[in-house]
Chains A and B, each alone.
Chain A
Amino acid sequence: MSAAPAYSEDKGGSAGPGEPEYGHDPASGGIFSSDYKRHDDLKEMLDTNKDSLKLEAMKRIVAMIARGKNASDLFPAVVKNVACKNIEVKKLVYVYLVRYAEEQQDLALLSISTFQRGLKDPNQLIRASALRVLSSIRVPIIVPIMMLAIKEAASDMSPYVRKTAAHAIPKLYSLDSDQKDQLIEVIEKLLADKTTLVAGSVVMAFEEVCPERIDLIHKNYRKLCNLLIDVEEWGQVVIISMLTRYARTQFLSPTQNESLLEENPEKAFYGSEEDEAKGPGSEEASAAALPARKPYVMDPDHRLLLRNTKPLLQSRSAAVVMAVAQLYFHLAPKAEVGVIAKALVRLLRSHSEVQYVVLQNVATMSIKRRGMFEPYLKSFYIRSTDPTQIKILKLEVLTNLANETNIPTVLREFQTYIRSMDKDFVAATIQAIGRCATNIGRVRDTCLNGLVQLLSNRDELVVAESVVVIKKLLQMQPAQHGEIIKHLAKLTDNIQVPMARASILWLIGEYCEHVPRMAPDVLRKMAKSFTAEEDIVKLQIINLAAKLYLTNSKQTKLLTQYVLSLAKYDQNYDIRDRARFTRQLIVPSEQGGALSRHAKKLFLAPKPAPVLESSFKDRDHFQLGSLSHLLNAKATGYQELPDWPEEAPDPSVRNVEEEDLSLIETHVGLLGEYTEVPEWTKCSNRDKRKEKEKPFYSDSEGESGPTESADSEPESDSGSDSKSSSGSGSGESSSESDDDDQEDEEERGRGSESEQSEEEGEKKRRRKKKKKEPEGRGENSSSDEVSDSSSSSSESEMTSESEEEQVEWGSLPPRTRLGQARAACPLLTPVPPTILFQPPSSKRTPAAQEVSLLDLEDFAPPSVQPVTTPTVMSTSLAADLEGLTLTDSSLVPSLLSPVSAVGRQELLHRVAGEGLAVDYAFSRQPFSRDPHMVSVHIYFSNSSETPVKGLHVGTPKLPAGISIQEFPEIESLAPGESATAVMGINFCDSTQAANFQLCTQTRQFYVSIQPPVGELMAPVFMSENEFKKEQGKLTGMNEITEKLTLPDACRSDHMVVQKVTATANLGRVPCGTSDEYRFAGRTLTSGSLVLLTLDARPAGAAQLTVNSEKMVIGTMLVKDIIQALTQ
């Protein structure tokens, strides 16, 4: 729309006399005569038969509507044109009709026949638009016509029209809710629609009309899951949100696992195991075992939902990402929820409104699942340019994420924030410090000292907020802080903020024994200013007076009486009330005095310290991402997120009879495959399958469930049978049934079968472990089982061999077992002993022992910390936290420097690992079994209560070229014990991560090792001449040169060499000139030379040259080295 028509209405008015029949219309009810006339020119234009004039008139009218001007008096003139042939005019007439039909119902009826005709138009666009307008004009009299139109459109051959029908349903429902039953029928019909275009719209209609009819979803559940990725973004959000609710009613909680296992009677385990052994014949046995709770096995449909939504975390739409995130938060097993963190952090780069909503949700999530966002701590750091509301939310998240390990960093950040110009934000920061202090005992005193220093801040708000927070902190240990209370008492002269004054008075009263001399004096001053104080302060003055009267009546009796008399005549009835009440309590009266004898107990009872907790705590009882969650109040139309059921409802309701779901694949793959383009169709079904067979994500967090069986649907009867039988058998039989389908599916079926049975094996082992603690028999049978399942699959010999060893191990004492293991496995023999059992305490550094884990319910008892942290903490913590002062204290950057390449890195956090913590380090020793491999030291430590058994590397899914030499299985790791193992990884000269599973008898953890580029090489020793000769061969493209400036700290020979060799595993090459440094190495896999020259000139200027035919390695190496040298 151009701007011109918007103004042109004003120039009307000259044309002809006002027509009286519109004058009576109150809607146009202008008092000014010009109003009667002003639309006459438009009417004239509409009455001509020139389309261009009509169009111009309609444009002006629509512009009026858009600006909120009343154009209702034009209704008759406009409605005549509803049958206009010109499509542009028609569109605008529709816009007008939708706006005014409700006001002029009788006239609107004139247009209905046009729409009815439109509904039969051969053009699908016209059919759809006729339905859209018909359903948008809110004229109750046409409800039957709308109903009919919707029903007809629902079976239109055009999916676009069907989509419009779905849109019309909620409109009709809001006009006349009596139509519900009929509409549900249409919804049911449309839910069965197989096109992506309709899916989102009909689920929307379902949500608005009949969200309680969850039964309508059953048969469409799998279809919706499978279509999801191809549905448009808006539909995805609606479907995901609905499916979250659905899953909560139909599946079992994936986190109830442990608790269930403990409760379970023994029989159930054996029962289910026998099932498997006997095969399908054992239905009865399983039925008998059923009354006892079934062990948890994730319903394949539950898994299907998780798997199919995961790729959408990479949607460009923030709403979709959030929808998937909340789905994972509410439905995924604990170990898998972590994947959403990265995507949510990404949204923080988006528009500030998006940030606002995302941060609210992250704040709630981070209370429950702190570990998930910990790696992204720095993404929540606050910039001075952030809007205050964003700052405060980020602060909330930072506070939630603070723990023993990162608190120094967090507090140092807070220290910068305290000096912000944004005072609301400073106040929030002070609150945050208070919360950190209560949650993390170790830093309580440091925080308190910092806050006390803030009391001398110039800004009164800062001081006031500090007082309030200090008050809360002091309540935790008042005895030690008499000095602070005195300090605060002095502040009453200066501080005016009521809340702060009230807090100080309360403190003095409560702990008057710590300030026996000052307290009466404070009361005296307060009595003087009583009438001028705010109400909250007055109440606290009364309170203080009462407490002092009880402890020190000699000095304060008169003062108290004075205060009470003032209060008695106060304007505020609360204060009058309080005064009367207090007087009765403390002043012994003639009659009873029973109360006053107990007054001391009443006033000076020990009071529990307040708990400083997040306002986001427990907000997750609202579905995340919802409006209700954001407002922390139930919004109209909010559908409660139901609790998980105790018993899973019958899963067979989701079985769809015969239909081949492959037929409903649409032509278009939004994010999926586009089947019509020759290039891809050539790679045909087979290739497609292959693609599918691979796990969706090549990186670690993978599917532990059956990968394929759910996708291809258990079409056959056996599928449904097995569903209803005990859960453990189901996956296998359904994938077997797939085998019958097609030949090339067979392979795939096998794959999933073995994977699944292995998983089942895992489960069983875990169960067994829980009950039968370490002993032999259980272990034997479990390993039997494993070898059974692996023999059915196409596992390599190597694996089954080691499986056999496992059987032997069970019957031997630990020491000999080790020897045996090496002897039995030829590959393992030449290695020096790699498993080092260590006594539990030896690994813990003293610093880590001091750590008191206060209030960290997420954490298991203290275990081995990653080596770097405790030492860093102990050295710099004191310095860092030396008060949150406002002086320009110099900051020690030690914490910020990257972990050196040889340092230990975390592979598995002890929380994620359920007590098993695993670190790794690149040892830089040659890996003797395979010179192409990087040797990686793995450090295990068990901080759980139970021994971790059978630690080994499970089937790695590696990118092409990368291979792994596993470490020998660690048979058992007692609680508190640590062990080290060595494994080799051939990274194939790339920094791709090696993803593999770390398996225990009970669990599998997906872990990933990504090498810094410097670890992909080994030093070689060469002479200066050789070096120059080789360098001469590697010029041009193979040479990368970069200039840099060496900081002062890094100009000594020693530092340069140290930094370079710490970053890259290279050997020093002797060099004639003093300012030149040379290093040489070879990449491990291809043995390509990597030559590095650093030419340091005076004043820090330097030039770094890397020569290598591996250009990518060269580039990355340059980057890393520069980073190391310049930091």
Chain B
Amino acid sequence: MIHSLFLINCSGDIFLEKHWKSVVSQSVCDYFFEAQEKAADVENVPPVISTPHHYLISIYRDKLFFVSVIQTEVPPLFVIEFLHRVADTFQDYFGDSNVGDTLPTGQLSNIPWRRAGVKYTNNEAYFDVVEEIDAIIDKSGSTVFAEIQGVIDACIKLSGMPDLSLSFMNPRLLDDVSFHPCIRFKRWESERVLSFIPPDGNFRLISYRVSSQNLVAIPVYVKHSISFKENSSCGRFDVTIGPKQNMGKTIEGITVTVHMPKVVLNMNLTPTQGGYTFDPVTKVLTWDVGKITPQKLPSLKGLVNLQSGAPKPEENPSLNIQFKIQQLAISGLKVNRLDMYGEKYKPFKGVKYVTKAGKFQVRT
């Protein structure tokens, strides 16, 4: 399977290596660097590279490349999935800077995902229902594609071996679900109840999709007019955001990100709300809007300076929108109840809902 693993930072230093079989020289990474150079953009480095003696399978996470060296046939997703789990573990372990003195010990329990003898003085179980709206809105404002991607993340701090079951008011909403291995699949199939002995701590219980079949509510609308004049070195930019189907909740944390065409030199804009930045190198415009108040819709207007002499851009850039709605799962999913079996104490339980924009793109 995986022969060796190299960790490479964004400036191209190999700062960590691990070999499971005989040692493979660092020079194997040259093939990777070559591919990286060719791709120009980190995102476009092919995840699988074939070299004369090895195959390199890599992932890019948090500005690091995890490059694994493979010698024989193996499902690429097997390796990719593994590397991502490694990255997850690093994030968990190094994430909060207080690195422990001892390495976590291997433990054998009847349940592979939960250690034995867990003890807490405060027993708590929290669930975050996080829904993201993926959408493509075309220039006329109609929805080309929309779906809801949801996850339920859990933070479980319960003593002993609790056996939980979580039920929903409307489980049929969940169109396509993937489960943490702790969930009893058959119970879900027959009763639509999530029944499980949880791992200790933070973990993702399920991910689900509510597909466009069930018509997705789009909480914001965007009015836009972006135009570049022929044979002139300027253009106009005018974007307004307003609330649409927000179920009576406040939409907050709105950010608009626009990758402007290369010929844009600078932008002189006036926001009615929030602040904006334009990076003349990456040509990325970021407008941090904040909350929408329906009385006065936030807008960003002004001039775009173009490189003189260059032909006007053919494409209007698309707008990437971020937003957040607290206390709402846009699909309407509602947790009904959480029951605990197997332990005597009474845990503290909590459910939080939040809706966010996922890959939310408005074509202009």
Q: Chain A, 684-703, contact with B by CB distance < 8 Å: what is the 0/1 string? A: 00000001101011100000
Chain A, range 552-604, C-beta contacts under 8 Å to B = none
Report if A91-B311 is in contact (Cβ < 8 Å); known contacts: A351-B84, A630-B76, A1122-B245.
no
Report if A314-B178 is in contact (Cβ < 8 Å); known contacts: A319-B75, A384-B318, A677-B163.
yes
Docked CA distance A676–B109 (Å)? 13
Docked CA distance A344–B226 (Å)? 37
CB of B291 within 8 A of chain A?
Answer: no
Nearest A-chain residue to B111, judged by Cβ = A668
CB of A1127 within 8 A of chain B?
Answer: yes
Q: Is the CB of B74 within 8 A of A627?
A: yes
8 Å CB contact of A385 from B80, B106, B197, B359: B359
- Selecting from A13-21, A253-261, A825-833, A1039-1047, the interface stretch reads A1039-1047
In the bound complex, residues from chain A placing their C-beta under 8 Å from that of B207 are 316, 346, 349
Q: Is the CB of B262 within 8 A of A421?
A: yes
Docked CA distance A385–B317 (Å)? 11
CB of B34 within 8 A of chain A?
Answer: no
Q: Is the CB of B244 within 8 A of A670?
A: no
Nearest A-chain residue to B359, judged by Cβ = A383
CB proximity of A846 to chain B, nearest CB, Å: 28
8 Å CB contact of A421 from B71, B247, B315: B315
Q: Chain A, 310-321, contact with B by CB distance < 8 Å: what is the 0/1 string? A: 010011111101
Docked CA distance A630–B30 (Å)? 22
Q: Is the CB of A626 within 8 A of B244?
A: no
In the bound complex, residues from chain A placing their C-beta under 8 Å from that of B183 are 671
Q: Is the CB of B145 within 8 A of A381?
A: yes
Docked CA distance A204–B103 (Å)? 28
CB of B82 within 8 A of chain A?
Answer: yes
Chain A, range 382-404, C-beta contacts under 8 Å to B = 383-385, 387-389
Report if A314-B44 is in contact (Cβ < 8 Å); known contacts: A91-B103, A625-B75, A668-B110.
no
CB of A481 within 8 A of chain B?
Answer: no
Q: Is the CB of B163 within 8 A of A679?
A: yes
CB of A896 within 8 A of chain B?
Answer: yes
Q: Is the CB of A1 within 8 A of B99?
A: yes
In the bound complex, residues from chain A placing their C-beta under 8 Å from that of B314 are 419, 457-459, 886
Docked CA distance A159–B248 (Å)? 56
8 Å CB contact of A383 from B44, B136, B190: B136
Q: Is the CB of B77 within 8 A of A668?
A: no
CB of B251 within 8 A of chain A?
Answer: no
CB of B14 within 8 A of chain A?
Answer: yes
Docked CA distance A346–B147 (Å)? 11
CB proximity of A7 to chain B, nearest CB, Å: 12
Q: Is the CB of A357 within 8 A of B47?
A: yes
In the bound complex, residues from chain A placing their C-beta under 8 Å from that of B73 are 626-628, 635-639
Q: Is the CB of B172 within 8 A of A992?
A: yes
Report if A174-B215 is in contact (Cβ < 8 Å); known contacts: A357-B80, A673-B186.
no
In the bound complex, residues from chain A placing their C-beta under 8 Å from that of B143 are 896, 1127
Q: Chain A, 122-148, contact with B by CB distance < 8 Å: what is the 0/1 string? A: 001100000000001010000000000
- Selecting from A230-238, A364-372, A731-739, the interface stretch reads A230-238
Q: Is the CB of B181 within 8 A of A315?
A: yes
- Selecting from B15-23, B121-129, B299-307, the interface stretch reads B15-23
Q: Is the CB of B176 within 8 A of A346?
A: yes
Q: Is the CB of B15 within 8 A of A67?
A: yes
- Selecting from A870-878, A1091-1099, A1112-1120, the interface stretch reads A1112-1120
Q: Is the CB of A378 within 8 A of B144?
A: yes
Q: Is the CB of B181 within 8 A of A138?
A: no
Q: Is the CB of A670 within 8 A of B181?
A: yes
In the bound complex, residues from chain A placing their C-beta under 8 Å from that of B80 are 318-319, 351, 353-354, 357
With an 8 Å Cβ cutoff, the count of chain B residues facing the other chain is: 104
In the bound complex, residues from chain A placing their C-beta under 8 Å from that of B342 are 677-679
8 Å CB contact of B72 from A319, A351, A459, A636: A636
Q: Is the CB of A234 within 8 A of B82?
A: yes
Chain A, range 800-833, C-beta contacts under 8 Å to B = none
Q: Chain B, 27-45, contact with A by CB distance < 8 Å: what is the 0/1 string? A: 0000000000000010110
Nearest B-chain residue to A315, judged by Cβ = B178
Chain A, range 124-178, C-beta contacts under 8 Å to B = 124-125, 136, 138, 160, 171, 174
8 Å CB contact of A88 from B22, B50, B102: B102
Docked CA distance A697–B70 (Å)? 38
CB of B212 within 8 A of chain A?
Answer: yes
CB of A864 within 8 A of chain B?
Answer: no
In the bound complex, residues from chain A placing their C-beta under 8 Å from that of B182 are 670
Nearest A-chain residue to B93, judged by Cβ = A1
CB of A1077 within 8 A of chain B?
Answer: no
Q: Is the CB of B47 within 8 A of A66?
A: no
8 Å CB contact of A893 from B55, B136, B142, B247: B142
Q: Is the CB of A891 within 8 A of B138?
A: yes
CB of B337 within 8 A of chain A?
Answer: no
Chain B, range 138-156, C-beta contacts under 8 Å to A = 138-140, 142-145, 147, 149
Docked CA distance A630–B55 (Å)? 12
Q: Is the CB of A174 within 8 A of B179?
A: no
CB proximity of B334 to chain A, nearest CB, Å: 10
In the bound complex, residues from chain A placing their C-beta under 8 Å from that of B259 are 384-385, 421
CB of B345 within 8 A of chain A?
Answer: no
Q: Is the CB of A67 within 8 A of B16?
A: yes
CB of A1123 within 8 A of chain B?
Answer: yes
Q: Is the CB of B110 within 8 A of A378?
A: no
In the bound complex, residues from chain B placing their C-beta under 8 Å from that of A66 are 16-18
In the bound complex, residues from chain A placing their C-beta under 8 Å from that of B149 are 349
Q: Is the CB of B318 within 8 A of A174?
A: no
Q: Is the CB of B185 within 8 A of A229?
A: yes
CB of A282 within 8 A of chain B?
Answer: no
Docked CA distance A891–B363 (Å)? 12
Chain B, range 225-272, C-beta contacts under 8 Å to A = 244-245, 247-248, 259, 261-262
Nearest A-chain residue to B181, judged by Cβ = A670
CB of A83 within 8 A of chain B?
Answer: no
CB of B95 within 8 A of chain A?
Answer: no
Q: Is the CB of A317 within 8 A of B81?
A: yes
Nearest B-chain residue to A88, judged by Cβ = B102
Q: Is the CB of A322 within 8 A of B145?
A: no
In the bound complex, residues from chain A placing their C-beta under 8 Å from that of B142 are 893, 896-897, 1127
Docked CA distance A389–B58 (Å)? 15
Nearest B-chain residue to A159, judged by Cβ = B108
Docked CA distance A343–B175 (Å)? 11
CB of B133 within 8 A of chain A?
Answer: no
Docked CA distance A1127–B21 (Å)? 60
In the bound complex, residues from chain A placing their C-beta under 8 Å from that of B187 are 673
Q: Is the CB of B108 within 8 A of A124?
A: yes
8 Å CB contact of B244 from A311, A351, A1045, A1115: A1045
Q: Is the CB of B19 within 8 A of A669?
A: no
In the bound complex, residues from chain B placing their C-beta under 8 Å from that of A633 are 50
In the bound complex, residues from chain B placing their C-beta under 8 Å from that of A459 are 314
Docked CA distance A381–B147 (Å)? 12
CB of A1058 within 8 A of chain B?
Answer: no
19 A-B contact pairs sorted by A residue (CB < 8 Å): A1-B99, A66-B16, A67-B16, A88-B102, A314-B185, A319-B81, A349-B207, A357-B80, A419-B316, A458-B314, A627-B70, A627-B73, A631-B48, A637-B71, A637-B72, A670-B182, A696-B186, A886-B314, A1115-B332
- Using a CB–CB cutoff of 8 Å, the interface residues on chain B facing chain A are 1, 14-23, 26, 41, 43-44, 46-48, 50, 55, 58-61, 70-78, 80-82, 84, 99, 102-103, 106, 108, 110-112, 134, 136, 138-140, 142-145, 147, 149, 161, 163, 169-170, 172, 176-187, 189-190, 195, 197, 204, 207, 209, 212, 215, 217, 244-245, 247-248, 259, 261-262, 311, 313-318, 320, 332, 341-342, 359, 361, 363
Question: Considering the complex of A and B, which 8 residue pairs feature the smallest CB-CB distances, nearest first?
Answer: A637-B72, A387-B43, A671-B185, A419-B315, A679-B341, A353-B47, A638-B73, A319-B77
Known contacts A125-B108, A458-B314, A1042-B247; can you find 17 more A-B pairs with CB under 8 A? A66-B17, A66-B18, A68-B17, A160-B108, A319-B75, A323-B75, A343-B178, A353-B58, A357-B47, A389-B43, A413-B144, A416-B138, A627-B48, A633-B50, A639-B73, A669-B184, A890-B140
